[in-house]
Amino acid sequence: MLSSVVKEYMSDLVDILIVSFIFYQLLLLLRGTRAVQLVKGISVVVLLWIISRYFELRTITWLIENLFSVGVIAIIVIFQPEIRRALEQIGRGGFFSRHRVIREEEVNKLVQELAKAVQYLSSNKVGALIVLEQRTGLFDYVRTGVVLNADVSSELIRTIFSTNTPLHDGAIIIQGAKVTAAGCFLPLSESARISKALGTRHRAGLGMSEISDAIVIIVSEETSAVSIAQNGILESNLSNEAFLSHLFQLLKQKPAEGLSKDRREKNG
């Protein structure tokens, strides 16, 4: 009798541990994607349903329960890119891998290399679009370009954006300390408040910053002005010193300081 109870207890414990591990790995997969915001929205709806059931708010309960009835299909449609990526990672054995965190020394090297490249591109009026991935995953946009997986260096960036090279018109995407891909296509901003003076490169940079938390560096081919976009806000006409300082602050997630000399344009 005792052995059967212990066996049942151990079986339940193993079952709980396996399910917990699977959910933990799924949360890790979602953490680097836009699906995180959708999960938060679903959590709010579930919480509202619990409250409405508790207080017997019948109309709200009925609406939410009917929403749940089609929720499974909606989740499959909404999370299709994330589901596909999760299955791909499982197939590659990447289900057990951890998200790589960039070290402080890598941040310092990254900023210095970007500063050298941007200064050269600006001085020579060479247009550039550089995307630094943060918490929101950009795998769908990486697929639109040519995968490189190369170390970040000013020489590589200058070469990619050199006029008449095959990849100079697209964006490069940097994940961690690697140039993951070049020649990538970014979504254009649809905000009606964007200045008419801004071209396609700026609209693409702002568009990416509006749908993700990525840091986007833009070098204008016409004016040689250097800008940084994040969260739909464009910091324009940055000097070399302001660019270096602001990029450090963004990558280290410190509040921006000392930018009063530069013109800020809020778009969207």
- The reply to whether 78 and 209 lie within a common domain is no
Distance CA 152, CA 110 (A): 7
Q: Which of 96, 131, 154 is the C-terminal boundary of a domain?
A: 96
Distance CA 216, CA 208 (A): 8
Distance CA 216, CA 263 (A): 17
Q: Are 111 and 251 in contact (CB under 8 A)?
A: yes
Q: Is the pLDDT of residue 228 over 80?
A: yes
Q: Is the pLDDT of residue 119 over 60?
A: yes
- The reply to whether 215 and 242 lie within a common domain is yes
User: What's the whole-number average pLDDT of the chain?
Assistant: 82
Q: Which of 63, 96, 129 is the C-terminal boundary of a domain?
A: 96
- The reply to whether 108 and 238 lie within a common domain is yes
pLDDT tens profile 133-190: 987 778 889 989 999 999 999 999 999 999 888 998 899 999 988 999 999 999 998 7
Q: Which of 96, 120, 140 is the C-terminal boundary of a domain?
A: 96
Number of domains in the chain: 2
- The reply to whether 150 and 206 lie within a common domain is yes
- The reply to whether 85 and 67 lie within a common domain is yes
Q: Are 216 and 230 in contact (CB under 8 A)?
A: yes
Residue with the larger pLDDT of the pair 38 and 194: 194
Q: What is the pTM of this model?
A: 0.65
**Range of the structural domain that residue 63 is part of:** 2-96
- The reply to whether 71 and 110 lie within a common domain is no
- Per-residue confidence band for 197, with pLDDT thresholds at 50, 70 and 90: confident
Instruction: Please give the structure tokens belonging to residue 79.
Output: 């999370």
pLDDT tens profile 48-67: 989 998 898 989 888 888 88
Instruction: Please give the structure tokens belonging to residue 132.
Output: 């630094």
Q: What is the CATH number of the domain that holds 132?
A: 3.40.1700.10
Q: How many CB atoms lie within 10 A of CB 52?
A: 18
- The reply to whether 139 and 248 lie within a common domain is yes
| Residues facing 171 on adjacent strands | 184
- The reply to whether 79 and 167 lie within a common domain is no
